[in-house]
A and B are shown apart, each in its own frame.
Chain A
Amino acid sequence: NAGVTQTPKFQVLKTGQSMTLQCAQDMNHEYMSWYRQDPGMGLRLIHYSVGAGITDQGEVPNGYNVSRSTTEDFPLRLLSAAPSQTSVYFCASSHTQGVNTEAFFGQGTRLTVV
Chain B
Amino acid sequence: GNSVTQMEGPVTLSEEAFLTINCTYTATGYPSLFWYVQYPGEGLQLLLKATKADDKGSNKGFEATYRKETTSFHLEKGSVQVSDSAVYFCALSENYGQNFVFGPGTRLSVLP
Residues of A with Cβ closer than 8 Å to B? 4, 31, 33, 35, 40-45, 48, 50, 58, 90, 92, 94, 96, 98-103, 105-108
Report whether B104 and A96 are in contact in the complex, using a CB–CB cutoff of 8 Å. no
In the complex, the number of residue pairs spanning A and B with C-beta atoms less than 8 Å apart equals 59
Identify which of B14-22, B65-73, B77-85, B91-99 touches chain A.
B91-99
Within 8 A of A (CB), among B16-69: 32, 36, 41-46, 51
Interface majority SS (helix, strand, loop, mixed), chain B: loop
The interface residues of chain A lying within 8 Å CB-to-CB of B36 are 105
Report whether B98 and A106 are in contact in the complex, using a CB–CB cutoff of 8 Å. no
A99 and B96 contact, Cβ closer than 8 Å, known pairs A42-B4, A42-B105? yes
CA distance A102 to B4 in the complex (A): 19
Closest CB-CB distance, A42 to chain B, in whole Å? 4
Specify which of B32, B91, B104 is in contact with A40 (CB 8 Å cutoff). B104
Residues of B with Cβ closer than 8 Å to A? 4, 8, 32, 36, 41-46, 51, 89, 91, 96-105
A105 and B99 contact, Cβ closer than 8 Å, known pairs A42-B4, A43-B89? no
Closest CB-CB distance, A34 to chain B, in whole Å? 11
CA distance A98 to B100 in the complex (A): 16
Report whether A42 and B46 are in contact in the complex, using a CB–CB cutoff of 8 Å. no
Report whether B104 and A103 are in contact in the complex, using a CB–CB cutoff of 8 Å. no
Specify which of B8, B97, B102, B105 is in contact with A94 (CB 8 Å cutoff). B97
Specify which of B42, B91, B97, B101 is in contact with A101 (CB 8 Å cutoff). B97
